[in-house]
Amino acid sequence: MIVTAKLRFMKTMCLASAFRSFHFPLLWDLGIGNFHYPTLLFTCSFHSSSRLTSTGTHKDASLISKFNYAFFRDVNDALASFNHIILMHPLPSIVEFGRFLSALVRMKQYHTVLSLSRTIESLGISHNVHSLNILINCFCRLHLVDFGFSTFGKILKIGMDPDIVTFNTLINGLCVEGKINLAVDFFNDMVAGGYQPDVCSYNVIVSGFCKFGKTNVAIWLLKEMIERGCEPDAVTYTAIIDALCKDKLVAEAVNLFSHMKNKAISPNVITYTCLIHGLCNLGKWNQAQALLKEMVGQNISPDIFTFNILIDSLCKEALVSNAQSIIKIMIQADVEPDVVTYNSLMDGYCRRSQMDKARKIFDLMVQNGIVNAFSYGILINGYCKSKRIDEAMQLFDEMPQKGFLPDTFTYTTLIQGLWNAGKPRAAQVLFKNMCYHGYRPNIITFSILLDGLCKQGDLDEALTLFEAMERSQLKPNHVSYTILIDGMCKAGKLHDAKEFFSGLFKKGLQPNVYTYGIIIKGLCIEGLLVEAYKVFRGMKDGGCSPNGCCYNVIIQGFLRHGDVPKASQLIEEMVGKGFTADATTAKLVMHLLPNDDLILRKLQDQTEGSKGVNVK
Give the model confidence (pLDDT) of 373-411 as tens digits: 999 999 999 999 999 999 999 999 999 999 999 999 999
Q: How far is CA 155 from CA 10, 148, 152, 308, in A?
A: 11, 11, 5, 46
Distance CA 511, CA 611 (A): 28
Distance of CA 2 to the CA centre of its chain: 47
Residue type, 298: Q
Distance CA 113, CA 127 (A): 13
| Residue spans of the chain under pLDDT 50 | 1-56, 609-616
Distance CA 156, CA 566 (A): 82
Phi, psi of 167 (to 5 degrees): -65, -45
Degrees, nearest 5: CA angle 56-62-63 = 90
Q: How far is CA 173 from CA 42, 141, 142, 200, 538, in A?
A: 30, 7, 9, 13, 51
Best CA proximity match to 432, nearest among 445, 422, 451: 445
Q: Which long-range contacts (CB under 8 A, 24 or more apart) does 188-193 make?
A: 189/13, 189/17, 189/18, 192/13, 193/6, 193/9, 193/10, 193/13
**CA gyration radius, the chain:** 34
Residue 33 carries which DSSP code?
Answer: G
Distance CA 70, CA 522 (A): 77
pTM of the model: 0.74
Phi, psi of 434 (to 5 degrees): -60, -50
* DSSP per residue, 228-274: TT----HHHHHHHHHHHHHTT-HHHHHHHHHHHHHTT----HHHHHH
pLDDT at position 391 is: 95
For the chain, the maximum distance between any two Cα atoms, rounded to a whole number of angstroms, is 117
Which residues does 437 contact at the CB level (< 8 Å), separation at least 6? none
Best CA proximity match to 272, nearest among 245, 252, 311: 245
With 0-12 CB in 10 A as exposed, 13-18 as middle and 19+ as buried, what is 420? middle
Q: Does residue 265 contact residue 234 with C-beta atoms inside 8 Å? A: yes
Distance CA 42, CA 36 (A): 14
**pLDDT tens column, 317-352:** 889 999 999 999 999 889 999 999 999 999 999 999
Residue type, 89: H
